[in-house]
Structure 1
Amino acid sequence: MIRRTRRITPAGRTVVITGASSGLGKAAALHLERIGFQVFAGIRAPADGARLLAESSAGRLHPLRLDVTEPDQIRQAADEVAERLDGEGLWGLVNNAGIAQPGPLECLSAELLQRQLTTNVIGQFQTIQAYLPLLRVARGRIVNVTSGLGRVALPYLGAYAAAQFAKEALSDSLRRELRPFGVTVSVVQPGAIRTPIWDKLAQAGADVVDCAPEPTATVYREPFRAFLRHNARQVRRSRTTPQQYARTVARALTTARPRTRYPVGPDVRIASLAARLLPDSLVDRHLAAIVRPRDG
């Protein structure tokens, strides 16, 4: 006998999603609206909101000015949502906003590391705090978006992995702290999916090395460039789509008993399995080719 998992109906429920201007966040915002949610989609510029509305299919999508690096904007956006809900609770908060700062850690400035952590960790933390009163009213759900690098830290992506590891830890603590209030916390872990973030990653990484003192830059330039080329090939070969990610976010918001983690893509499943089962020395050996200096 096949047992069907009961679903929560999206009709009459409201969600907020950060980072919906483009890429995965945009795909998720449009999908959540399509299946019946009222969606407040966090965008950074009015033009982003206009583009979202042009693709909106049901009139349930509301652009929300929300830069997670700006505490005043976070508070203003939460006040706007609370006013629109008029005493009703918020069913879902999807913390999708984020950046990826690549680069050898020896070349990375403290300012760039701070920007990575501010966007992916501190900003998300402040966003969660702002919406928790509304989430408690509805006994709603938090969906935090990390990645496969929240389980395995690759060379040259240490700053990004640090942010994702931190977000995984915050999610675990939040899940346990909020359980008495009926608020669930799930993590969605997308792997390599072709979106604009990967185009920005290569340029951002090249800038990091070019701005480093020349003796240090010389040590890393060639292996790091090779890493960026390899990474770009992996992303191009990936068959995981933004739509798969969007459906996974929807599943976390509508399953009667949401899971704690939802990997999206075979690369994340493999990385999670390796992190659980393999000794660090074996993982290090597998990744050694990434950092091995090239001759010539």
Structure 2
Amino acid sequence: MATHLLTGAGSGIGAVLAERLLERGDELVLLARSSERAHDLRSDLPDATVLVADLADPAAVEAVASQLPDRLDSAVHAAGTVELGPVSSLSTEVWQAQLAVNVLAPAVLTRVALPALRAARGTVVFVNSGAGLAAHPQWSAYAASKFGLRALADSLRAEEQEHGVRVTTVYPGRTSTPMQQKVHQQEGREYDATAWIDPATVAGAILHVLDLPEDATISDLTIRPR
């Protein structure tokens, strides 16, 4: 039985992945941003362990170290936040929020989870974005955070190879999630969930990464809508 640390299990790709992992009998440690959200997650996923840590607060993320298991077969960073806008008007607070949740929190959480990941020769998965490969108008803050997440993954991969920890970055294109609906609202566009990638498709790709035999690793995986 494998044990996984997962963020972003409340919706979208993370929610589907959490359900799939529990269905097959794996153990889950989830992070929730508040006690109220933790209550909701425990109701939806009663077999999972839910810890409270707001990803926007690095100190809160670091504090979960003492609550993590001794072995982790994976840490999957699926949480994220997005706010679009031109560089000329994006506030400092908007920049800080996206950098904190999208790149600083994964860095801190990975650091405190590394002893457990090394013990299991586990896998770290960063759910990035197409915006982590190319930055477009209005996307500067989000893309900067995702470029940073890509750099974190690349460095970590090289550093942890000697410890047997594998590191994968997944770059999903536009996926039918609540975040994508929010993006469409910010873009002033009508949202059609059927036009984009099903979250289950991305979750399935992540499961493939987690289940990969020990003789190989997938460093980067790009998934685009047809």
* TM-score for the superposition, normalised by structure 2: 0.90
Shift of 1:18: 1.1
- Secondary structure at the aligned position of 2:68 is classed as helix
Supply the AA of the counterpart residue of 1:263.
T
Q: Do residues 261 (structure 1) and 200 (structure 2) align?
A: no
Shift of 1:202: 5.4
Q: Do the aligned residues in 1 keep the contact of 2:6 with 2:30 (CA within 8 Å)?
A: yes
Partner of 1:146: 128
Shift of 1:50: 3.6
Alignment match of 1:130 (pick from 90, 105, 112):
112
Partner of 1:79: 66
**Larger helix share, 1 or 2:** 1
CA distance in 1, matches of 2:111, 2:78: 15
Supply the AA of the counterpart residue of 1:190.
P
Gaps of 5+ in 2: none
CA shift in 2, pair 1:109/1:55, >3 Å:
closer
User: What per-residue deviation string (whole Å, max 9, x for no partner) do you get for residues 77-127 of structure 1?
Assistant: 221123xxxxx4211001112101100111111221121111111111111
Q: Do the aligned residues in 2 keep the contact of 1:68 with 1:127 (CA within 8 Å)?
A: no
CA distance in 2, matches of 1:238, 1:35: 29
User: What per-residue deviation string (whole Å, max 9, x for no partner) do you get for residues 17-40 of structure 1?
Assistant: 012222222221111211232011
Partner of 2:182: 200
Q: Do the aligned residues in 2 keep the contact of 1:21 with 1:42 (CA within 8 Å)?
A: no
User: What per-residue deviation string (whole Å, max 9, x for no partner) do you get for residues 256-284 of structure 1?
Assistant: 123111223336xxxxxxxxxxxxxxxxx
Supply the AA of the counterpart residue of 2:225.
P
Q: Do the aligned residues in 1 keep the contact of 2:73 with 2:120 (CA within 8 Å)?
A: yes
Supply the AA of the counterpart residue of 2:111.
Q
Identity of aligned residues (%): 31
Alignment match of 2:17 (pick from 28, 46, 55):
28
- Aligned pairs for 1:81-100 (under 5 A) are 81-82=68-69, 88-100=70-82
Alignment match of 1:245 (pick from 184, 195, 202):
202
Q: Do the aligned residues in 1 keep the contact of 2:153 with 2:169 (CA within 8 Å)?
A: yes
- Secondary structure at the aligned position of 1:64 is classed as strand
Q: Do the aligned residues in 2 keep the contact of 1:89 with 1:137 (CA within 8 Å)?
A: yes
- Secondary structure at the aligned position of 2:197 is classed as coil
Partner of 1:101: 83
Alignment match of 1:45 (pick from 17, 27, 34):
34
Alignment match of 1:111 (pick from 81, 89, 93):
93
- Secondary structure at the aligned position of 2:84 is classed as coil
Q: Do residues 70 (structure 1) and 29 (structure 2) align?
A: no
Partner of 1:223: none
Which protein is bigger by CA-based radius of gyration?
Answer: 1
Aligned residues: 224
- Secondary structure at the aligned position of 2:30 is classed as strand
- Secondary structure at the aligned position of 1:29 is classed as helix
CA shift in 2, pair 1:153/1:112, >3 Å:
same
Gaps of 5+ in 1: 1-11, 83-87, 206-227, 268-296
Q: Do the aligned residues in 2 keep the contact of 1:43 with 1:67 (CA within 8 Å)?
A: yes
Shift of 1:237: 4.6
CA distance in 2, matches of 1:141, 1:128: 11
Supply the AA of the counterpart residue of 2:9.
A
Shift of 1:244: 1.1
Q: Do the aligned residues in 1 keep the contact of 2:174 with 2:225 (CA within 8 Å)?
A: no
